[in-house]
């Protein structure tokens, strides 16, 4: 490809809207352009990367025996009603009507459509196991699209769905997919970790996320330094403390804490450590007979944080989690949200296992501007339930008993789920077993965020000059920069010849023939992140050489013109 005939679309200035490096570089390197919030066009350079990643994904899926299909993005609402998700999926599902008033949704995922295919096309248990996949655009009306394609509204996903007669059989496919995902992300050059994960709105009971490690990642993962344990913080168990609670001291008493709205403010005012102050939050429980929200108090150690996923897994807690409003709290307790506590609270009280070990602690008095000090469980709060409710912290023991937990941020680039029969039962996707009996198929589903994974690669592979593509997915392998070819016949001839030779050798090469200032051309080739950069200039040609630079390390060397093709080929990764 010649730059003179290409849509390079690089930007000199940093776009203001980009908050993370990958987004900034994807715009500057001419990879993507936004057309509406969370909706992007992939320009030619981006498309070249995207095609390579799709190819890797396709190869690895095909290796598992999965079969490629293409399902529509537009999905009938009735299918979603059958699975029970039409309403439950919430505002991320983009719903619309056609001219005949038929209701549809834009597919955010394809469990419903694929289960419908399976129930119509798969008749016998003998056809199983079977796995169907596609690489296709999804639409999710994300509340906060951000970081470019990292959290878009329309984005490319590889989604696969497996069908089997048993849970054991599905576990085999699950493991194959898990292994295939590891190969995909390795081939993309990502540093990643598979972690235990929550199943969220997809449902099911066993799941792993593939997390690309990056500071900008929106997920937090907890990993042990003494074993392979790694989990999304949403799932990571905070091990119950092994020590006993200290014995209660003197009776509790009231202390003034004017204008203290947070644990820290109260702790400061009371000259106590935050871990001696109880954090009391109020969330919605079940609705009462009048359809009104019941209120449930959650108590945590003051310096720890609530794990919302753990909370919604407790029966009787509203899912998704809803914090009670100030009005509801005021009406129920008579106090401001900053002065809440379990003593005398007339609702259900859930206490975290670490908070359960607190004694002689301070907590809100359910009276605005006051706390109680020297409060103790049982003695002062007779009725409460104890659960694991907090997020793990750096230094907590690993739940598998081996090592200590550490936290890192991750970008979720893929997820595999054991679905079970949730969809096949709801939508009656059955096969006949050997006795002629109808049994629901056992399903798994497996997603890769293709466009997000590309952003994750850039997060991990860039420097202040631009992107440093892993060679496998680089838009071009080699860049040729010709210095003033209009002024030197020799430069032009050598560049043209090398360009032709590389193309004939099947190497993807971008030939910068723009006759721009050298600095401008180098900057562009480095910004785009082409792994091998060749410079052809009159001066070095006098010595019979051309210049070579490895983008990744910026190492420079010279190559004899006569043997240029072979030397360059030798430098390419196989
Ligand atoms: P998240 O928690 O980040 O919203 P998710 O768990 O809802 O993602 P899945 O349903 O597991 O997403 O979808 C499979 C994959 O699709 C994810 O692992 C992720 O890589 C990608 N993905 C999900 N939502 C988006 C999005 N808004 N933009 C880009 N990629 C996305
Ligand atoms: Mg997910």
pLDDT value of position 213: 97
Calpha distance 119→430 (Å, rounded): 6
pLDDT of residue 204: 59
Residue of 210, 445, 452, 454 to mutate, ligand 1, most atoms within 8 A of C-beta:
452
Residue 198 confidence (pLDDT):
85
Confidence (pLDDT) at 203: 58
SS3 375: strand
Residue 375's DSSP bridge partners are 361
C-beta of residue 131 within 8 angstroms of C-beta of residue 66: yes
Indicate the DSSP class of residue 417. E
pLDDT of residue 205: 67
Residue 349 CA, ligand 2 centroid: distance in Å: 31
Residue 164, strand partner residues? 442
Paired with 156 in beta bridges are 137
Residue 75: its H or E element: strand 74-76
Neighbours of ion ligand 2 (CB under 5 A): 415
Structure confidence at residue 388 (pLDDT):
98
CA of 445 to the centre of ligand 1 (A): 13
Residue whose token pair is 């996707």? 429
Whose alpha carbon is nearest atom 29 of ligand 1?
Answer: 151
Per-residue pLDDT of the chain (574 residues; tens, 9 = 90+): 999 999 999 999 999 999 999 999 999 999 999 999 999 999 999 999 999 999 999 999 999 999 999 999 999 999 999 999 999 899 999 999 999 999 999 999 999 999 999 999 999 999 999 999 999 999 999 999 999 999 999 999 999 999 999 999 999 999 999 999 999 999 999 999 999 998 776 655 689 999 999 999 999 999 999 999 999 999 999 999 999 999 999 999 999 999 999 999 999 999 999 999 999 999 999 999 999 999 999 999 999 999 999 999 999 999 889 999 999 999 999 999 999 999 999 999 999 999 999 999 999 999 999 999 999 999 999 999 999 999 999 999 999 999 999 999 999 999 999 999 999 999 999 999 889 999 999 999 999 999 999 999 999 999 999 999 999 999 999 999 999 999 999 999 999 999 999 999 999 999 999 989 999 999 999 999 999 999 999 999 999 999 999 999 999 999 999 999 999 999 998 7
- Name the residue among 535, 573, 574 with its Cα closest to residue 552: 573
Q: 364-418 pLDDT, tens per residue?
A: 999 999 999 999 999 999 999 999 999 999 999 999 999 999 999 999 999 999 9
C-alpha 218 – ligand 2 centre gap (Å): 12
CA of 156 to the centre of ligand 1 (A): 10
Q: In what order do the strands lie in the sheet with 74-76?
A: 74-76, 103-106, 94-97
Of all protein residues, whose CA lies closest to atom 21 belonging to ligand 1? 449
Residue 151 Cα to ligand 2 middle (Å): 12
DSSP state of 427: T
Q: How is residue 552 annotated by DSSP?
A: T
Q: Report whether 50 contacts 451 (CB < 8 A).
A: yes
Nearest to 536 by CA among 484, 462, 500, 466: 484
* Cis ω for the linkage preceding 129 (within 30 of 0): yes
The token pair that represents 1 in the structure block: 């490809």
**Going by DSSP bridges, is the β-strand pair 130-139/67-68 parallel, antiparallel, or unpaired?**
parallel
Q: pLDDT by residue (tens digit) across 400-409?
A: 999 999 999 9
- The pLDDT score that the predictor gives to residue 434 is 86
Query: Which ligand has the nearest atom to the CA of 156?
Result: 1
| C-alpha 527 to ligand 2 mean position (Å) | 31
User: Which residue puts its alpha carbon closest to atom 27 of ligand 1?
Assistant: 151
For residue 143, the ligand closest to its alpha carbon is 1
CB 204 within 8 A of CB 196: no
Distance from C-alpha of 393 to C-alpha of 396, rounded to nearest angstrom: 6
> Residues enclosing ligand 1, CB less than 6 A?
109, 140, 142, 151-152, 155, 157, 200, 202, 412-415, 447, 449, 451-452
**Gap from CA of 164 to ligand 1 centroid (Å):** 25
Q: How many residues does the chain have?
A: 574
Mutate to test the pocket of ligand 1, among 150, 415, 416, 459 (most ligand atoms within 8 A of CB): 415
Ligand nearest to the CA of 140: 1
Protein residue whose Cα sits closest to atom 19 of ligand 1: 449
């Amino acid at each position: 490809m010649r730059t003179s005939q290409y849509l390079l679309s690089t930007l000199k200035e940093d776009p203001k809207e980009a908050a993370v490096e990958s987004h900034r570089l994807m715009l500057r390197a001419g990879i993507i352009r936004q057309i509406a919030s969370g909706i992007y066009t992939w320009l030619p350079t981006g498309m070249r990367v995207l095609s390579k990643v799709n190819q890797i994904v396709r190869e690895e899926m095909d290796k598992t025996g999965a079969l490629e299909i293409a399902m529509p993005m537009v999905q009938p609402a009735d299918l979603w009603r059958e699975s029970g998700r039409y309403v439950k999926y919430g505002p991320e599902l983009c719903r619309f009507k056609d001219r005949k008033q038929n209701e549809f949704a834009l597919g955010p995922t394809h469990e419903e459509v694929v289960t419908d295919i399976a129930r119509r096309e798969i008749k016998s248990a003998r056809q199983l196991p079977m796995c169907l996949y596609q690489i296709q655009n999804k639409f999710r009306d994300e509340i906060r699209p951000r970081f470019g394609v990292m959290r878009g509204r329309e984005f490319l996903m590889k989604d696969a769905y497996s069908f089997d007669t048993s849970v054991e059989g599905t576990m085999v496919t699950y493991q194959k997919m898990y292994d295939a995902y590891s190969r995909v992300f390795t081939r993309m050059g990502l540093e990643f970790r598979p972690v235990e994960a929550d199943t969220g709105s997809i449902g099911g009971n066993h799941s792993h996320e593939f997390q690309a490690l990056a500071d900008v990642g929106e997920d937090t993962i907890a990993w042990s330094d003494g074993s392979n344990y790694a989990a999304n913080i949403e799932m990571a168990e905070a091990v119950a403390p092994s020590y006993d609670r200290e014995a209660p001291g003197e009776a509790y008493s009231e202390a003034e804490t004017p204008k203290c709205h947070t644990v820290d403010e109260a702790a400061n005012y009371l000259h106590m450590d935050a871990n001696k102050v109880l954090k009391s939050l109020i969330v919605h429980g079940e609705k009462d007979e009048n359809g009104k929200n019941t209120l449930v108090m959650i108590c945590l150690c003051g310096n720890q944080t609530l794990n919302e996923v753990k909370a919604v897994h407790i029966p009787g807690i509203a899912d998704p989690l809803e914090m009670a409003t100030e009005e509801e709290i005021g009406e129920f307790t008579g106090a401001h949200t900053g002065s809440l506590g379990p003593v005398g609270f007339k609702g259900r009280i859930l206490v975290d296992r670490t908070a359960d070990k607190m004694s002689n602690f301070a907590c809100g008095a359910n009276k605005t501007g006051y706390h109680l000090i020297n409060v103790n469980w049982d003695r002062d709060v007779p009725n409460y339930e104890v659960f694991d409710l907090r997020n793990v912290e750096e230094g907590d023991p690993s739940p598998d008993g081996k090592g200590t937990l550490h936290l890192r941020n991750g970008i979720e680039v893929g997820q595999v789920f054991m679905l079970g029969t949730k969809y096949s039962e709801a939508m009656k996707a059955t096969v006949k077993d050997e006795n002629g009996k109808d049994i629901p198929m056992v399903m798994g589903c497996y997603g890769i965020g293709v466009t997000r994974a590309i952003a994750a690669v850039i997060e991990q592979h860039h420097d202040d000059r631009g992107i440093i593509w892993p060679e496998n997915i680089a838009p071009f392998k080699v860049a040729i920069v010709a210095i003033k070819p209009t002024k030197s016949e020799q430069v032009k001839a050598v560049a043209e010849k090398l360009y032709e030779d590389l193309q004939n050798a099947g190497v993807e090469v971008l030939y910068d023939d723009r006759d721009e200032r050298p600095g401008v051309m180098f900057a562009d080739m480095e910004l785009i992140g082409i792994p091998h950069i060749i410079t052809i200039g009159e001066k070095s040609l006098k010595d019979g050489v051309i210049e070579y630079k490895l983008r990744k390390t910026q190492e420079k060397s010279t190559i004899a013109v006569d043997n240029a093709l072979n030397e360059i080929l030798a430098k390419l990764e196989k």
